[in-house]
Every structure is written in structure tokens, then in C-alpha cells.
Amino acid sequence: MGKNDKLKEELAESRHAETITLALGALGIAGISLGVAYGVWKGWLLSTIMMVIIIVGWLSLYFLGRRNNQRRREKIKYLDNQE
């Protein structure tokens, strides 16, 4: 595999991870709106728990994305230095 092939594969994997993160973020927004609607309807205890779980999920996705971006940059630097 050449340098360009490795780079293209790495970039494709990172784009896929970013797409998944955006999709999960959209589901998180839907979950928060569902939690608010349930809180207005029944009470705030269960909806607060749901929203905390969703926010923790968002934070984990955010830090996972940052780590993947850092790995991508390091991989590109490594491939550049290899030649």
C-alpha cells in the first residue's frame, strides 16, 4: 500500500466516524426534546435522568472525536515523515 492509499483509507475512516457522531448527535437532540415533553407531561424526575444520560453521551462522543482527530493528524505526520 502506498502512502496515498493509507492516507485515503485513514481519512475515509475518520469521515465515517464524524458522520456517525453527527447522526448520534441528532438522535440526542431528539432524545432531549422527548425528555422535555415527558417532563412537562408526567414530571421532571425521569426526564432529568434521561437528559443527563444524553448529555453524558454527547460529551463522550465529543472527546472521542477529538481523540480521533488527533490520531488522524499524527498518522498524517507519520506518513509524511516516512518518505
What ranges do the domains of the chain cover? 3-82
Share the mean pLDDT of the chain.
Answer: 76
31 contacts: CB under 8 Å, gap ≥ 6:
50, 51, 54
What is the Cβ-side half-sphere exposure of residue 4, based on CA atoms within 13 angstroms?
0
In terms of pLDDT, which residue wins out, 5 or 56? 56
Please give the DSSP secondary-structure letter assigned to residue 2: -
Phi, psi of 50, rounded to the nearest 5 degrees: -60, -45
- What local confidence, expressed as pLDDT, does residue 3 receive? 63
Per residue in 7-41, pLDDT (tens digit) is 777 777 777 777 777 777 777 778 778 878 877 88
